[in-house]
């Protein structure tokens, strides 16, 4: 059996860094971990190939080679996923769609032969039978004889049975970073979050031996540099994390510290300095936090009460001084938000040590608590397309014109050259001297390209030289950080100017041509 695994194309996003990947000599930020994990659970005698459409085009020859085509991706990749399915079906190939988009929005893929929701562990035989086309006793979809395997929220597998992903299927040199997964699920109950719907509120962790085996597989393939631990909340099960970190530190030290690690965590991480120090010792240098908003009312509204238990500014500064650079996620457009919310966000971020601060409009993702509430209130317009930077898919409480205009003004400030530089300087002033310089393959070529593109040709060359000079005044060891921030900033600023702001302008024009609609708020939403 010949299986082609296809990772659908991403549109440009803040986290895709598409405007600056070429400076680093890369074609994509991260590989499709979900697909290569599924690949490790397929029958070993099957012949597998992978096409990541963010790295290379999908040729008809690859589709014709396969007996079946497995397509994966997130909701924002759904248009590309549907195109792949149609192409494969036109060539007579069996098609199976999986991943987050298939789990939450199976109706998006009516043309696929099989839509497989949920996780693969413990369901290997079921998936293999569906790929081959053997009857599996699943519920047929209403049209076309499609087999729909819905997400099961009552039977989530132990990830201790997960196998080492098939990293060997990747073109490793095409990516700026690699990724592994330690846990699935999050114990919190944020109203807008789909992670707890897909993976549950009881975090399931791999064993330390599993994590080290995955890192060892990457090391043996020759990878060195950045590794993203993709957990939605790395510290969701703090007891197990405390067992992992010492072993991870020992493995890093025994192998010459080949990997610079980063991850996502909940804000309560700042209340446990011993845990933070253990993460830094194990090789973690940055962490993404869902800060969302400085508004206590909005945090209570969205059930993110864990953020109410810490001083947000103090937490960010504490983590930064400990050696964990903070990346932050923020949201505007909560029901309780007034037009003053934009100024509050602006003030919070003005001098915060958070260079990579992403602000999106509140979106009701399919089958989240927020989606269900808004549906009950009659406020949903359509299901989310995974885009947080255009008109909300529901009727907001704030006048929509004011919401979009305020959001656009906030982004202009956030990703102006001066705004970005202020936050980088704030981070640089607080971050301690790096104890380890992690290996980065091809760093000299990247430096030459950065100087040529960012330091000479770019209209933002002032940003490059300012960052580099500021870092060198601290120490030579800070130069790689400054160059990385200049490369990242090039994308963030260009993407804001060339993609996001024009999109919001179009949305504003649409709103101004439409009659206003008043939202009916529930008592729970305030």
pLDDT at 249 over 70: yes
Q: Cα-flanking dihedrals φ and ψ of residue 454, to 5°?
A: -90, -35
Short-list 340, 320, 324, CA closest to 332: 340
* Residues with Cβ within 8 Å of residue 337, at least 6 apart in sequence: 293, 295, 298, 397, 398, 403
Length in residues, the chain: 526
pLDDT at 134 over 70: no
Please tell me the predicted confidence (pLDDT) of residue 498: 98
User: For residue 441, what is the DSSP state?
Assistant: T
pLDDT at 4 over 50: yes
> How far is 189 from 223, CA to CA, in rounded Å?
36
H-helix or E-strand spanning residue 105: none
Side-chain-facing half-sphere of 417: CA atoms under 13 Å:
13
Q: First and final CA of the chain: distance in angstroms? A: 56
Whole-model pTM: value is 0.95
Position 520 confidence tier, pLDDT thresholds 50, 70, 90: low
Dihedral angle over CA of 299, 302, 304, 308, nearest 10 = 20
Short-list 318, 327, 316, 329, CA closest to 286: 327
CATH topology for 177-330? TIM Barrel (3.20.20)
% of the chain with per-residue pLDDT over 70: 97
**Cβ pair 5, 51 in contact under 8 A:** yes
DSSP-derived pairing of the beta strands 204-205 and 183-184: antiparallel
pLDDT at 368 over 90: yes
**Cβ pair 84, 8 in contact under 8 A:** yes
CATH 1.10.490 fits 2-149, yes or no: no
pLDDT at 153 over 90: no
Mean predicted confidence (pLDDT) in 151-166: 94
Q: Any idea where the domains of the chain sit in the sequence?
A: 2-149, 177-330, 333-431+440-526
Q: Give residue-wise pLDDT tens across range 72-102.
A: 999 999 999 999 999 999 999 999 999 999 9
């Amino acid at each position: 059996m010949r299986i082609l695994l296809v990772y659908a194309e991403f549109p440009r996003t803040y986290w895709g860094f598409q405007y600056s990947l070429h400076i680093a000599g890369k074609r994509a930020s991260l590989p499709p971990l979900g697909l290569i994990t599924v690949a490790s659970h397929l029958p070993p005698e099957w012949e597998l190939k992978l096409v990541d459409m963010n790295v290379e085009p999908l040729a008809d020859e690859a589709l014709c080679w396969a007996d079946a085509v497995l397509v994966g991706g997130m909701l924002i990749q759904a248009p590309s996923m549907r195109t792949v399915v149609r192409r494969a079906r036109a060539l007579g190939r069996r098609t199976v769609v999986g991943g987050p988009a298939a789990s939450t929005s199976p109706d998006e893929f009516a043309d696929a032969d099989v839509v497989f929701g949920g996780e693969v562990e413990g369901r290997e035989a079921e998936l293999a039978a569906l790929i081959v086309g053997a009857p599996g006793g699943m519920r047929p979809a209403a049209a076309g004889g499609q087999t729909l395997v819905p997400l099961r929220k009552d039977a989530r597998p132990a990830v201790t049975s997960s196998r080492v992903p098939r990293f060997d299927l990747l073109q490793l040199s095409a990516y700026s970073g690699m990724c592994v997964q330690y846990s699935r699920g999050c114990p919190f109950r944020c109203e807008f979050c789909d992670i707890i719907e897909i993976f549950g509120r009881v975090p399931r962790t791999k064993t330390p031996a599993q994590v080290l085996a995955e890192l060892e597989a990457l090391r043996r393939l020759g990878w060195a540099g950045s590794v993203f631990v993709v957990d939605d909340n790395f510290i969701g099960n703090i007891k197990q994390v405390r067992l992992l970190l010492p072993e991870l530190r020992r493995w890093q030290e025994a192998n010459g510290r080949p990997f610079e690690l980063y991850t996502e965590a909940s804000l309560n991480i700042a209340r446990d300095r011993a845990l933070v120090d253990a993460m830094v010792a194990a090789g973690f240098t940055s962490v993404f936090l869902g800060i969302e908003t400085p508004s206590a009312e909005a945090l209570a509204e969205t059930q993110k009460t864990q953020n109410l238990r810490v001083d947000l500014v103090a937490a960010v500064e504490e983590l930064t001084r400990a050696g964990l650079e903070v990346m932050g996620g923020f949201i505007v457009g909560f029901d309780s938000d007034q037009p003053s919310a934009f100024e509050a966000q602006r003030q919070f971020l003005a001098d915060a040590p958070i260079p990579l601060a992403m602000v999106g409009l509140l979106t009701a993702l399919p089958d989240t608590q927020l989606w269900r509430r808004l549906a009950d209130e009659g406020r949903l317009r359509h299901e989310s397309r995974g885009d947080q930077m255009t008109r909300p898919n529901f009727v907001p409480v704030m006048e929509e014109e004011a919401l979009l205009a305020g959001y656009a003004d906030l982004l202009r400030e956030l990703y102006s050259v001066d705004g970005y530089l202020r936050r980088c300087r704030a981070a640089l002033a607080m971050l301690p001297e790096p104890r380890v310089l992690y290996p980065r393959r091809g760093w000299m070529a990247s430096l030459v390209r950065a100087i040529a593109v960012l330091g000479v040709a770019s209209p933002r060359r002032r940003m490059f030289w300012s960052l580099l000079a500021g870092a060198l005044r601290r120490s030579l060891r800070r130069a790689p950080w400054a160059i990385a921030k200049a490369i990242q900033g090039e994308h963030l600023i260009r993407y804001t100017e060339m993609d996001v702001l024009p999109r919001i302008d179009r949305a504003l024009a649409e709103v101004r041509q439409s009659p206003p609609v008043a939202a009916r708020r529930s008592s729970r939403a305030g």
